[in-house]
């Protein structure tokens, strides 16, 4: 089995990384470390060593290549990277005997049509966020779903999240938690001017179109945290991408287990 490791410079030098490499080679795996330049397509499994940010970085390199990704959590929370360092040995054993699940996660595709007919495409596993560029005033986001006008959000921004991203930025601003493979996506406003502007959950087989007005005539778009400045004239079209990202999960690490453990549901903090 060919395995490629992804991680920050700190995680790649960590004791956990050395232990993981030894475990993999003990099972006869060919192990390489992604250096940021060499192609990563010729591998059977990608292992992301870090937090969810490292996992998203890994997806950015191999997401369309149909390569399963295992996330080892070297950070704090970790919804995507949910294997703890102390679970690595058991997890590696499970992988080599075939005791694991593959979860396919929806990806969002963003296309932008400008005044000069320029067309570009971005992808996001978690969310696409449209945000004001400065701190002075809110933006107006005219939102259409499948050609039908929904509303105009006057807010600091708007988040369109996949089920995977529903526990990320969207959750922090009051968005709903969505179970993976539910066939949905959520629209959640960021600091809306009107309190009756609430999150809404939509089917993921349609298209969301956004036209943005800003006092500065520019706004930001963040795809899984990667920011870019856009002009008012740019129309944004968001839909489900034509590929999915494959997550390697241990059978006992189902979505509800992750929610309970990461969000400490049921924990009694009283002293």
SS (H, E, C) 235-262: EEEEEEEEEEEEEEECCCCCHHHHHHHH
Largest CA distance in the chain: 63
**How high is the pLDDT of residue 229?**
92
Provide the 8-state DSSP code for 182: S
The pLDDT, as a whole number, for residue 114 is 60
Residues of the chain with pLDDT under 50: 116-117
Phi and psi for 193 in degrees, rounded to 5?
Answer: -65, -35
- The verdict on pTM exceeding 0.85 is yes
Tokens of 134: 């400065």
Please name each of the domains of the chain with its CATH number. Answer: 2-100+250-263 (3.40.50.10330), 107-242 (2.60.200.30)
Which burial class, exposed, middle or buried, applies to 55 when counting CB atoms under 10 A from its CB (0-12, 13-18, 19+)?
buried
Output the six-digit token pair for 257. Answer: 């287990």
pLDDT at 233: 86
Predicted local distance difference test score (pLDDT) of residue 115 = 53
Q: Which of 35, 52, 134, 254 is catalytic?
A: 52
Determine whether 211 is an active site residue.
no
User: Which candidate, 201, 191, 121, places its Cα nearest to that of 165?
Assistant: 201
Q: What is the pLDDT of residue 117?
A: 47
């Amino acid at each position: 089995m060919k395995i490629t490791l992804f991680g920050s410079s700190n995680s790649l030098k960590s004791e956990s990384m050395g232990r993981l490499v030894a475990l993999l080679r003990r099972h006869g795996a060919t192990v390489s470390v992604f250096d940021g330049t060499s192609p990563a397509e010729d591998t059977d499994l990608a292992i992301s060593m870090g937090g969810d940010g490292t996992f998203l970085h890994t997806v950015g390199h191999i997401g369309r290549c149909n390569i399963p990704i295992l996330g080892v959590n070297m950070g704090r929370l970790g919804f995507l990277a949910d294997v703890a360092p102390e679970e690595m040995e058991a997890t590696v054993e499970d992988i080599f005997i075939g005791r694991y699940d593959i979860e396919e996660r929806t990806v969002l595709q963003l296309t932008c049509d400008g005044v000069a007919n320029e067309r570009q495409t971005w992808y996001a596993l978690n969310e696409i966020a449209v945000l004001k560029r400065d701190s002075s005033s809110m933006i107006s986001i005219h939102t259409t779903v499948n050609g039908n006008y929904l509303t105009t959000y006057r807010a600091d921004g708007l988040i369109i999240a996949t089920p995977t991203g529903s526990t990320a930025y969207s959750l922090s601003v009051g968005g709903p938690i969505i179970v993976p493979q539910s066939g949905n996506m959520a629209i959640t406003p960021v600091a809306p001017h009107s309190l009756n502007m609430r999150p809404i959950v939509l089917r993921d087989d349609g298209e969301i179109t956004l036209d943005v007005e800003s006092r500065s005539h520019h706004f930001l778009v963040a795809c899984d945290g990667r920011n870019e400045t856009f002009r008012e004239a740019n129309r944004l079209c968001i839909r489900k991408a034509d590929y999915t990202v494959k997550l390697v999960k241990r059978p006992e690490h189902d979505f509800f287990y992750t929610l309970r453990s990461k969000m400490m549901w049921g924990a009694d903090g009283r002293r």
